[in-house]
Each structure stands twice: as C-alpha cells, then as structure tokens.
Structure 1
Amino acid sequence: MNTITSSITSSSTRTDTISDSMALYNTTALKCSKLITQHYSTSFTLGIQTLNKKLHFPIYAIYGYVRYADEIVDTFHDKDRASLLARFREDTYRAIDEKISTNPVIHSFQLAVERYSIDKKLIEAFLNSMKMDLDKKEYDDNKYHEYIYGSAEVVGLMCLRVFCENDSTLYDSLEAGARSLGAAFQKVNFLRDMKSDFDERGRVYFPNINYLQFDANAKFEIENDIQKDFDAAYEAILRLPKTSRMGVYLAYIYYLKLFNKIKQSSTQTILSERIRVPDSKKIFLLVESYVKHRFNYI
C-alpha cells in the first residue's frame, strides 16, 4: 500500500474498522486529485505516470490543490473570488493542523504536506500569489519575481520534497534547480497565454511590457531569460533520484518543445493564438524520453 494512504495497525477490531474506513477515505480523496489532474492536464498526467508508483498520489495531491486554487482566481468571475480564496486558505491551514478535511482536494493535499514535511512557508507564498491574481494587472520587477516564486517555484519545491522523500541534504542541493524549472514553466505559460491573459483578465505579467506594443526585441529578451532557467534546471534534473528523474525530464522536454515553438513564432502569432504541442507529439516525447532515460542518454 502506498505510504501516503497507509493506516495504523491495531489489535482492536473497532480500531481496525476505523483505520480501514480512514484509509478508504484517504484513498478516495487522493483519487479525486488524480481525476482533477487527468482532466486538467494531459502533459502532467503523462509525466506523473513515469514517476515511481509510490510518488503518484502525493504529486496528484499537490497538482489538484494548486489547480483548484488557480480556478478560484481565474474562473469564478461571477462569484466573490476573494471570499472563496480566503475560505480556501483558512480550510487549508485548519486541515493541516487537524490532519483532516471534508474537502477531498484539501484533505489529499494535507496528507502530502504531513508525509513529506512540506513547509507552510511554501504554501503561504503560493496562496499569496493566488491573491495577487485577484486584482493585480501589471507587474514591476519585484512583484513579477514575487509572483513567479509563489505561483510556480514553490510548487516545484513542494514536488521536490516528495521526490527527495525527506532527504533534506538532497533537497537543499536541488532547491535552486527546482526553482529554475518552475520559473521556466511559468514564464513559458505567460508567453503562451499572453492573448488570453490580456483579453480575458487584463493582465500583463512581464514587467515593463506594453501588450499593444509587444515587439521582437521584447520577446527576445524574455526568451533569453527563460533559456537561462531551463539551463539551470537541466543540471538539477540529472541529479534527481531515479524514482522521479524521468517524469521531471519529460515535463522539461515538453516545455522545452513548447518554448522552442514559441521562439519560432512571430509576435503577431503570440498575440493572436495559443501555441500548443499536439497530443501526438506528447506521446512521441514520452517514448523518446523513456529511451533516453533507459539507456542513460539524458
């Protein structure tokens, strides 16, 4: 049984029954997070499937949690999003303190937090970035880096806690690389989603960028910054445990492919459509990544 869903053994029949029921609840909650991941992201679902099986549920738990927080600020525009996010934050900390939640997404997340000693500071940074999305439309350099840290880098660090399986020395040595990978992913998302972010939400994440005057020089500078993040992340990926290396490498390769496609696109294309990698190409990248990982060609 996966360690995140294991229950305490007891000789008492009643205790055994309670323990079995709690294990069932935990597993059901974790399966909800898995379902969320499968419905929202084929890319991350493919990546998770290549991880060692014992890591699947905790990573699903993290993805499901951050996905639903993002939905609150980006989707529920006809609702009181500030109140919903405040309640989500309150429910999160209560669940972590009490080790239980009737919200399956939050419950599965707190299981991962408990099992892998995920720092509350990472969670707070994430929730603060989500709060910024409620009313922030333009970002200066400081707010830009603060937002990327909270919305992406700390998510990478949460996952790294799982990948390192509570090996603090390994975690510390890979922390900078994990942050770079999260930053690269987020910045690629910003470029890919420039049109929808501006048209639907009035947002421009990149500092000192006028959306209506976005040109090749501005795009080139952003791409150079992203490339530095990818380069730094790659070095850390090579030092990940084998249980997680291929899954992270696959996500890296997918985003690198998307990034290269964006680099080859004009600013007019970026501002008029959402660049994507076809599902057929994702499958090819999965097979290619497996072969490279299997024969140590990464």
Structure 2
Amino acid sequence: MMDSKQLFDETALDCSKLITQRYSTSFTLGIKTLCKGLHKPIYGIYGFVRYADEIVDTFHDKDKKRLLEKFRQDTYTAIEEGISMNPVLHGFQLIVNKYHIETELIEAFLKSMAMDLDFATYNDSKYKEYIYGSAEVVGLMCLRVFCEGDREKYEELKYAACKLGSAFQKVNFLRDLKSDYEERGRVYFPGVDFKTFNNTVKSKIESDIERDFEEALIGINQLPRGAKLGVKIAYLYYLKLFYKIKSLSPETITQRRIRIPNARKFTLLISTYFGYKVGWN
C-alpha cells in the first residue's frame, strides 16, 4: 500500500500520462512498448515538454513571455525543492532528480520555446540551435532514463539520440508547414519561402532528414533492451510519415497537414512488435 508521499508522486506522473495520451497517440503507442519501469519517467518528460510547447503555440490572448518565464522559474524551484503543487512539474522534477538530467538540457529546451516567441524565420545557426533545444535535448533526457545510470552507455549513444530528435523535428516541420506559416507566421527551414516552396527545396530538406534517420538507427540498435522496441516503434512511425511526405508534391504539403491514421499506427505497432520478437528488426 502506498504512503501519502508515494500517492502524491504517482498521481503527478499519472497526470503526465493522461497528457501524453490526449496529445499524442503515436508517442503513447511507443511508450507502451518500453519496459514497464520506463513508462512513467518518459510520461513525466513528455508532460513537461508538451505543456511548455502549449504556452507558446496555444494561448494567443495571453502574455506568453510572462507565462513561459513563470513556467521556467517554477520548473527550477520544483527541481531544487523536490516538490511542486503543479503535477506536471512535480512529476518532471522526480525524473530530473532521479536520473540526473542536466540543467543545461532543460535550459536549452526552454530557450528554444522562447525562440518561438521572437522568431518568425530562422537562419542556419538559429535553426540548428532551435532543433537542438526543442528536439535533440528531449532525446537526451529520454536517453538518461533509458541508460538508467550507465554513464558510458549514455555517452556512447548521445550522438545518435540527437540525430533521432533532429529527424523527428524536421519531419514535424514538413508535416506542419502549412499550419506553422498560416497560424503562427513561422518558417523554420533556413532560406525557405513558403510561397515559393518547390521540389528543389523539398528534396534538399528530405536528403538532410534521411541522413539523420540513417545515423539515428545505428544508436537505436545499441539501446538497452528495455528501451529498444519503443524507440524503434517511434522511429518507424516517423520514417513512414516521412516517406508519405516525400511521395507528395510541394503543393500538397503547403495545402494540408499530413497524417497517418490511427489504424495504420496500430498495425505498425503490432508488426514491429512481432518482428522484434522473432528477430526480424
């Protein structure tokens, strides 16, 4: 039976689990194929990341800079004090403190969220900085959990984890090209004009993403067994989404958001799971 402190901690992490389930079916499917002990830590990271992202992308009638700065301050207070009455931040600090997630990773992430409030177009250096903070460091936070204190394994897999986060984020940029431009006035790809987006530009971006996927796969195959299947599911889902985008014209990409239906996500999960069990993947 749980004591009161355990109940408080578990309830906080359950809140982040609910957030993950409501916001991302693909991420939820991937988490379910991790070993059970990794579920709640990864939910805790996702809940934190999602709520920070919501501040900059959703609440257009609010003072976003003030909200994000308060979220930042509350995050560090929670980590330092080991408690927060905000269940998302309480759950996150549990994971940060247990798995020794570096402040540098958290700060880089929050800096990228702040960049969304200040930049509509990105040059090459800002683009790389944004991808590192918004996606690569999230992969590194998860890698800290997957390695469960094995520092040597963490250092060995850092590069591939960054490449995986980079690939995912760039696919998101292509998928959301229309909504980012029309709803938020953003174009993340350096030197790209939404109004003249063409096959030459699209092919160049896709070649860059393919290299990220190739380098990420090397690391996925070296992950601890408890994490490998879940990460492979996420990898294959995004790879399938990427191939779908790659097959479409630039005009289609700029006219609608590209999705993979939930039924196909589930089929992918099942096929990958059984393939993994018999040694196909």
Structure-2-length-normalised TM-score? 0.99
Higher relative contact order (CA 8 A, sep 6+): 2
Which residue of 1 is the match for residue 90 of structure 2? 107
| 2-structure distance, mates of 1:87, 1:134 | 15
Matches within 5 A, 1:235-254: 235-254=218-237
Gaps of 5+ in 1: 2-18
Secondary structure of the structure 1 residue equivalent to 2:187: coil
Secondary structure of the structure 2 residue equivalent to 1:138: coil
Secondary structure of the structure 2 residue equivalent to 1:206: coil
String of CA shifts for 1:35-78, please: whole Å, max 9, x gaps.
Answer: 00000000000000000000000000000000000000000000
1:217 and 2:200 are equivalent in the alignment: yes
Which residue of 1 is the match for residue 122 of structure 2? 139
Tell me the CA shift for residue 144 of structure 1.
Answer: 0.1
1:194 and 2:177 are equivalent in the alignment: yes
Which AA in structure 2 matches 1:131? A
Structure-1-length-normalised TM-score? 0.93
Identity %: 60
Tell me the CA shift for residue 153 of structure 1.
Answer: 0.2
1:22 and 2:2 are equivalent in the alignment: no
Which residue of 2 is the match for residue 89 of structure 1? 72
Which residue of 2 is the match for residue 262 of structure 1? 245
| 2-structure distance, mates of 1:195, 1:170 | 39
1:63 and 2:46 are equivalent in the alignment: yes
- Alpha-carbon RMSD across the aligned residues, in angstroms, is 0.9
| 2-structure distance, mates of 1:194, 1:271 | 6
Moved over 4 A (4+): none
| 1-structure distance, mates of 2:279, 2:146 | 19
Tell me the CA shift for residue 291 of structure 1.
Answer: 1.4
Identify which of 189, 212, 230 aligns with 1:229.
Answer: 212
Which residue of 1 is the match for residue 60 of structure 2? 77
Tell me the CA shift for residue 89 of structure 1.
Answer: 0.2
Secondary structure of the structure 1 residue equivalent to 2:168: helix
String of CA shifts for 1:227-253, please: whole Å, max 9, x gaps.
Answer: 000000001000001101000000000
| 1-structure distance, mates of 2:276, 2:217 | 14
| 2-structure distance, mates of 1:30, 1:186 | 25
1:174 and 2:157 are equivalent in the alignment: yes
| 2-structure distance, mates of 1:296, 1:134 | 46
Matches within 5 A, 1:271-290: 271-290=254-273
1:39 and 2:22 are equivalent in the alignment: yes
Which residue of 2 is the match for residue 117 of structure 1? 100
| 2-structure distance, mates of 1:296, 1:178 | 23
| 1-structure distance, mates of 2:93, 2:207 | 37
String of CA shifts for 1:122-173, please: whole Å, max 9, x gaps.
Answer: 0000000000001210000000000000000000000000000010000000
Tell me the CA shift for residue 20 of structure 1.
Answer: 1.2
| 2-structure distance, mates of 1:297, 1:64 | 33
- Give the number of the structure whose alpha-carbon radius of gyration is greater: 1
Secondary structure of the structure 2 residue equivalent to 1:118: coil
| 1-structure distance, mates of 2:23, 2:259 | 15
| 1-structure distance, mates of 2:274, 2:215 | 23
Which residue of 1 is the match for residue 31 of structure 2? 48
Which residue of 2 is the match for residue 205 of structure 1? 188
Gaps of 5+ in 2: none
1:126 and 2:109 are equivalent in the alignment: yes
Secondary structure of the structure 2 residue equivalent to 1:195: helix
Secondary structure of the structure 1 residue equivalent to 2:180: helix
| 1-structure distance, mates of 2:57, 2:16 | 19
| 2-structure distance, mates of 1:119, 1:288 | 36
